[in-house]
Amino acid sequence: MRIATYNAAGLRPRVPLVLDWITEYEPDVLAMQETKVEDSKFPREEFEELGYELALHGQKSWNGVAVLSRSPISNVRFGFQDELFPQDCRILTCEVDDVTFINTYVPNGSAVGSDKFDYKLRWLERFDRYLREHFRPDQKLVWLGDINIAPRSEDVYNAKRFFGQVGHHPEEFKRLERIRDFGLTDVFLKHHPEPGHFTYWDFVIITAYAKNFGWRIDHIYATAPMAEVCEDCLIDRSARGRDKPSDHTFVFADFDV
């Protein structure tokens, strides 16, 4: 089973790129974030023609998550299943071929000390509770998406400069580590622990992609039953250099299930 994640940064202008990537890499499951499109306006026909089922949780202009699958999708759930957080279209849970997928677009946090940063920390705490309330570490589960945290110094092109800022802050590390303590393995690091691998290059820095000034903030995590059968996990850096790219690129992993 090939599983992929991609922050589209607005899907509609990226549809040709995503369709080309799907045709070339043939993922069984693709989780997308920041689709920025209402479900009624999602370009579902193009993906259905390639044989994919869709589960959508979108809204106009902001956020939005989607799961595409070659196999039937079941038990679709949106949000945290409670009233504690708004339905801001950041989390979609579903099952495919007896594997549970949790696709998330974790809040960015904007600036340390801001209300949005506080919201990000509280959101991560709520996600940790969501995991422990609804799932077990011995079941087949994959958490993936734009996590908006680069947890190691190797995951940022200039960690000394950015330490303590949004995306590379100790309070974020603490909450991510608590989530991982549920029993989750970062499958990219399992196969590629060396530095220099990034999934995001800021558009604001015009030369960021060319100079590899990146961050690794798009992750695939798996419980032991899935991590143990993960054959490899790769970042397709080249997609960031295609026509009309997102500022993120695809991460994909192969599982022998």
Instruction: List the catalytic residue out of 6, 52, 146, 186.
Output: 146
Distance CA 22, CA 15 (A): 10
- Strands of the sheet with 2-7, listed across from one edge: 53-57, 65-69, 29-33, 2-7, 250-255, 230-236
For 44, phi and psi rounded to 5 degrees?
Answer: -70, -30
Give just the sign of the alpha carbon dihedral 152, 211, 62, 71.
Answer: negative
Instruction: List the catalytic residue out of 6, 28, 52, 105.
Output: 105
Distance CA 9, CA 35 (A): 6
For 163, phi and psi rounded to 5 degrees?
Answer: -60, 130
105 counts as catalytic: yes
Among all residues, which ones are annotated catalytic? Answer: 105, 146
